[in-house]
Amino acid sequence: MITLSEYFMTILITCMIVNLGLALYGVFFKPNLIKKIIALTILGDTANTFALIIGYRMWVAGVPSRPPVFTEWRSNNPLLLFVFTKTAVDPLPQALVLTAIVIGLAVTLFLVFLTLQAWKIYRSVDMRDIRRLKG
């Protein structure tokens, strides 16, 4: 028998794989540069979500997993830290994904300005037109 959380997780991963396909299709085969950039951001977000799922952990006996924020550290109780280790999710993929989001944002920003420059020079953002103009 499949539990509710497994059911939702299956839906999530199916949707992400479909998302991956749509994003790859957009990056490879759409001639419009703006649509290529949109597909690239979807691709990056899908990859980031996969990375987050690696760090996720199942609920243990109905107790939900916690975000990696430990608020009881002034109590100096080692038992609390032990319990925290048993329920907290992995913080490392989250830190890496934060870095990836910043870099992705920088790349997207630069691509948008490059597309703007292409529009100024060629008066078109269609790959087919640009290719025809420059041979």
Binding site for another protein (CB under 8 A): 9, 13, 17-18, 20-21, 24-25, 28-29, 31, 50, 53-58, 60, 67-71, 73, 76, 78, 81, 84-85, 88, 90-92, 94-95, 98-99, 101-103, 105-107, 109-110, 112-114, 116-117, 120, 127-128
Give the torsion through C-alpha atoms of 8, 13, 15, 17, to 10 deg: -170
Task: Look up residue 26 and give its two tokens.
Answer: 């957009």
Q: In whole angstroms, how far apart are CA 52 and each of 25, 27, 48, 76, 79?
A: 23, 23, 6, 30, 27
114 vs 133 by CB, closer to another protein = 114
CB of 36 to another protein, least distance (A): 14
CB of 102 to another protein, least distance (A): 5
Q: How far apart are CA 61 and CA 41, in angstroms?
A: 37
CB of 33 to another protein, least distance (A): 14
Q: How far apart are CA 81 and CA 73, in angstroms?
A: 8
128 vs 133 by CB, closer to another protein = 128
3-class secondary-structure state, position 66: strand
Give the number of C-alpha atoms closer than 13 A to the C-alpha of residue 100, restricted to the C-beta side. 17
